[in-house]
Copies of this chain bind each other. A is one copy, B any other.
């Protein structure tokens, strides 16, 4: 573990395994539980990097797959890694590309995301019967795939992904994994998991070999392991045990999280107790408001999720006292509403603009709307995570969840 990296637990919730902590990286400190902003292509969509610190956002995650295709890791490295390239000065993670391997492969074939619907219509992702041609081929060696930009052929191996991530220079990096589909059966999920474990070991070995190489932009990187196993109890237990013992600096829960919230909670309940208690735990790709409380209660320290920023661009902005904690500004009732999105919010957008003006920009498809709505949704989450930390510290976590109408 890098000398610049540490994780200290401060407070534990008496009723759940929720905890507050301090995650130290070479680029600053993250108070946990924390929301990780999604900056896939070295920018949070619609926000300039300078806005991130003003929002109080503590940490962001970029994507190895997307940045490898464009602009390429060598260009990012030549400009000082992600920090120098983007100009932000925040702790930064890079995801490995495993999710993209899934999205372009089985996710595309199965027509599903990380959580598959039980009943048609229950989830927005609908399983498609006709198999789409996958854009990726997996072997023991790694993943061969075609660029979504120009169709060119690329290969990821556990080793090459570590090299790419070292060039990108994130503070916390993740090894290549296969993110299985909720529609994969036990046999496939098991074979895939076992291969992901072998890839994890190869990634870790490659990471340790490159550790003292001074040519990379960030000498203080750490590597998290990724627990897989789909929604199968025996596999999650096995994966948490094996990944938990490999010597990673932290853990991420990845892959399929089943077909319901209950499945997702089970995955966390099975996996987390087997991971070292004093290491940080990240949940990949989950972070809608209704999920935050339940996942923190199960011991998750950090989350990343594109939904808050994607919702913002669609006109859906967060508000505590609203169904699913959001309103859609396209709604006609806001046409002449001179109040802010949220009278209790201190974000630039709520301090400056009325719902009526924002609705107009949204309906007109003005780019300025995307930024203003994104500023609000991210600031809202930053404040909510701060409330959650305070509640854990003051032993009010379950009453805060109740106040927000969220299950633990």
Residues of A in contact with B (beta carbons under 8 Å apart): 41-50, 66, 70-71, 75, 78-79, 85-87, 335-336, 338, 348, 352-354, 356-357, 359-361, 363-364, 366-368, 370-372
Contacts and interface: CB of A to CB of B under 8 A. Distances in A.
A75 B371 contact: no
A368 B41 CA distance: 11
A367 B45 contact: yes
A258 B79 CA distance: 48
A41 B360 contact: yes
Contact of A87 (B70, B357, B364): B357
Nearest to A41: B364
Contacts of A363: 70-71
A258 to B, nearest CB: 33
B360 A42 contact: yes
Given A43-B366, A367-B370, A357 B85 contact: yes
A363 B46 CA distance: 14
A347 to B, nearest CB: 12
Contacts of A48: 348, 352, 368, 371-372
Given A75-B335, A338-B79, A352-B87, A47 B368 contact: yes
11 contacts: A41-B360, A42-B361, A46-B366, A50-B348, A71-B359, A71-B363, A75-B356, A78-B338, A85-B357, A87-B352, A367-B370
Contact of A336 (B75, B86, B364, B371): B75
B353 A87 contact: yes
B47 A356 contact: no
Given A42-B360, A85-B357, A367-B367, 14 more contacts: A41-B361, A46-B367, A48-B352, A48-B372, A50-B352, A71-B359, A79-B336, A79-B354, A79-B356, A87-B352, A87-B353, A367-B370, A367-B371, A371-B371
A365 B47 CA distance: 13
A330 to B, nearest CB: 12
Contacts of A366: 41, 43, 45-46
Contacts of A49: 352
A86 B364 CA distance: 14
A352 B70 CA distance: 21
A93 B45 CA distance: 32
A354 B360 CA distance: 33
Given A336-B78, A364-B41, A85 B371 contact: no
Contacts of A353: 87
B357 A86 contact: yes
Contacts of A78: 336, 338
Nearest to A363: B70
A45 B368 contact: yes
List the 10 closest A-B pairs by CB distance, nearest first.
A46-B367, A71-B360, A43-B368, A41-B364, A43-B366, A75-B336, A367-B370, A48-B368, A367-B367, A78-B336
Nearest to A352: B87
Contacts of A338: 78-79
Contacts of A41: 360-361, 364, 366
A174 to B, nearest CB: 21
Contacts of A47: 368
Contacts of A352: 48-50, 87
A55 to B, nearest CB: 14
Nearest to A353: B87
Residue in A42, A364, A371 with the greatest tally of chain B CB atoms within 10 Å: A364
A368 B78 CA distance: 22
A142 B315 CA distance: 36
A137 to B, nearest CB: 26
A358 to B, nearest CB: 10
A177 B364 CA distance: 25
A37 to B, nearest CB: 13
